[in-house]
Amino acid sequence: MNNRLVCILFLLLALAAPAFARDAIEDQKIGFLIAAVADLHDATFIRNGTEYDAQHAADHIRMKFRYADRRVNTVEDFIVCCGTGSSMSGEPYTIKFADGRIVPSADFLHEKLAEFRAPEPPAAP
Protein backbone atom coordinates (compact mmCIF):
# COMPACT_ATOMS: atom_id res chain seq x y z
CA MET A 1 0.00 0.00 0.00
CA ASN A 2 1.43 3.38 -0.86
CA ASN A 3 2.01 6.04 1.76
CA ARG A 4 -0.67 8.35 0.40
CA LEU A 5 -3.37 5.69 0.75
CA VAL A 6 -2.20 4.86 4.28
CA CYS A 7 -2.36 8.54 5.24
CA ILE A 8 -5.86 8.90 3.80
CA LEU A 9 -7.08 5.82 5.68
CA PHE A 10 -5.50 7.06 8.90
CA LEU A 11 -7.10 10.49 8.46
CA LEU A 12 -10.53 8.96 7.82
CA LEU A 13 -10.24 6.78 10.91
CA ALA A 14 -9.07 9.72 13.01
CA LEU A 15 -12.01 11.82 11.87
CA ALA A 16 -14.49 8.99 12.44
CA ALA A 17 -13.24 8.17 15.96
CA PRO A 18 -15.08 11.04 17.70
CA ALA A 19 -18.34 9.83 16.17
CA PHE A 20 -17.92 6.56 18.06
CA ALA A 21 -16.59 8.02 21.30
CA ARG A 22 -18.81 7.86 24.34
CA ASP A 23 -20.09 11.17 25.66
CA ALA A 24 -18.90 12.20 29.14
CA ILE A 25 -22.47 12.27 30.46
CA GLU A 26 -22.91 8.66 29.33
CA ASP A 27 -19.82 7.74 31.36
CA GLN A 28 -21.37 9.51 34.36
CA LYS A 29 -24.60 7.55 33.96
CA ILE A 30 -22.69 4.27 33.66
CA GLY A 31 -20.64 5.09 36.75
CA PHE A 32 -23.85 5.95 38.61
CA LEU A 33 -25.37 2.57 37.71
CA ILE A 34 -22.28 0.61 38.75
CA ALA A 35 -22.23 2.50 42.06
CA ALA A 36 -25.94 1.75 42.55
CA VAL A 37 -25.20 -1.96 42.20
CA ALA A 38 -22.23 -1.77 44.58
CA ASP A 39 -24.34 0.06 47.18
CA LEU A 40 -26.98 -2.69 47.45
CA HIS A 41 -25.50 -4.32 50.55
CA ASP A 42 -28.76 -6.01 51.52
CA ALA A 43 -29.27 -7.67 48.13
CA THR A 44 -28.03 -10.83 46.45
CA PHE A 45 -27.18 -10.90 42.76
CA ILE A 46 -27.92 -14.07 40.89
CA ARG A 47 -25.79 -14.85 37.86
CA ASN A 48 -26.02 -18.24 36.15
CA GLY A 49 -27.73 -19.70 39.20
CA THR A 50 -25.04 -18.57 41.66
CA GLU A 51 -25.56 -15.87 44.28
CA TYR A 52 -23.07 -13.02 44.71
CA ASP A 53 -22.82 -10.00 46.98
CA ALA A 54 -23.12 -6.44 45.71
CA GLN A 55 -19.39 -5.77 45.47
CA HIS A 56 -18.76 -8.92 43.46
CA ALA A 57 -21.66 -8.05 41.15
CA ALA A 58 -20.33 -4.52 40.60
CA ASP A 59 -16.85 -5.87 39.92
CA HIS A 60 -18.25 -8.32 37.37
CA ILE A 61 -20.21 -5.59 35.60
CA ARG A 62 -17.10 -3.36 35.54
CA MET A 63 -15.10 -6.21 34.00
CA LYS A 64 -17.75 -6.77 31.32
CA PHE A 65 -17.76 -3.03 30.64
CA ARG A 66 -13.98 -3.02 30.13
CA TYR A 67 -14.29 -5.83 27.59
CA ALA A 68 -17.30 -4.29 25.82
CA ASP A 69 -15.98 -0.72 25.95
CA ARG A 70 -15.88 -0.13 22.19
CA ARG A 71 -19.44 -1.44 21.73
CA VAL A 72 -20.84 0.70 24.54
CA ASN A 73 -21.65 4.20 23.31
CA THR A 74 -24.64 4.92 25.53
CA VAL A 75 -25.90 3.96 28.95
CA GLU A 76 -28.56 1.86 27.21
CA ASP A 77 -25.78 -0.07 25.42
CA PHE A 78 -24.17 -0.58 28.82
CA ILE A 79 -27.37 -1.98 30.33
CA VAL A 80 -27.86 -4.39 27.43
CA CYS A 81 -24.22 -5.47 27.00
CA CYS A 82 -23.05 -5.51 30.60
CA GLY A 83 -25.86 -5.43 33.11
CA THR A 84 -28.71 -7.65 32.03
CA GLY A 85 -27.47 -11.15 31.47
CA SER A 86 -24.78 -13.67 30.83
CA SER A 87 -23.17 -13.49 27.42
CA MET A 88 -22.12 -17.12 27.91
CA SER A 89 -25.39 -18.78 28.96
CA GLY A 90 -27.90 -16.14 27.88
CA GLU A 91 -29.52 -16.28 31.34
CA PRO A 92 -30.75 -12.94 32.69
CA TYR A 93 -29.20 -11.52 35.86
CA THR A 94 -31.57 -11.04 38.76
CA ILE A 95 -31.40 -9.26 42.09
CA LYS A 96 -32.94 -10.71 45.25
CA PHE A 97 -33.69 -8.06 47.86
CA ALA A 98 -33.81 -8.59 51.63
CA ASP A 99 -37.64 -8.64 51.51
CA GLY A 100 -37.51 -11.65 49.16
CA ARG A 101 -38.50 -9.72 46.05
CA ILE A 102 -36.59 -10.79 42.92
CA VAL A 103 -36.27 -8.42 39.96
CA PRO A 104 -34.40 -8.64 36.68
CA SER A 105 -31.24 -6.54 36.87
CA ALA A 106 -32.37 -4.73 33.70
CA ASP A 107 -35.44 -3.43 35.56
CA PHE A 108 -33.32 -2.30 38.50
CA LEU A 109 -30.81 -0.53 36.22
CA HIS A 110 -33.56 1.23 34.28
CA GLU A 111 -35.17 2.40 37.54
CA LYS A 112 -31.83 3.78 38.72
CA LEU A 113 -31.27 5.45 35.36
CA ALA A 114 -34.66 7.17 35.71
CA GLU A 115 -33.51 8.46 39.12
CA PHE A 116 -30.33 9.83 37.54
CA ARG A 117 -32.35 11.63 34.88
CA ALA A 118 -34.99 12.98 37.29
CA PRO A 119 -34.71 16.67 38.04
CA GLU A 120 -33.67 17.55 41.56
CA PRO A 121 -36.48 18.83 43.77
CA PRO A 122 -36.40 22.54 44.46
CA ALA A 123 -34.42 23.64 47.50
CA ALA A 124 -36.38 24.28 50.66
CA PRO A 125 -36.92 28.01 51.43
Asked whether residue 9 is domain-assigned, the answer is no
The helix/strand/coil state of 51 is: strand
Asked whether residue 91 is domain-assigned, the answer is yes
**pLDDT at residue 16, rounded to an integer:** 46
Asked whether residue 75 is domain-assigned, the answer is yes
As a whole number, mean pLDDT of residues 42-68 equals 95
Phi, psi of 69 (to 5 degrees): -45, -45
Q: What does pLDDT average to over the chain? A: 84
pLDDT at 40 over 80: yes
CB 49 within 8 A of CB 91: yes
Q: What is the number of domains present in the chain?
A: 1
Asked whether residue 6 is domain-assigned, the answer is no
By residue range, what is the domain housing residue 34?
22-117
Q: How many CB atoms lie within 10 A of CB 108?
A: 23
Q: How confident is the model at residue 53 (pLDDT cuts 50, 70, 90)?
A: very high
Partners of residue 27 on adjacent β-strands: none
Q: How confident is the model at residue 81 (pLDDT cuts 50, 70, 90)?
A: very high
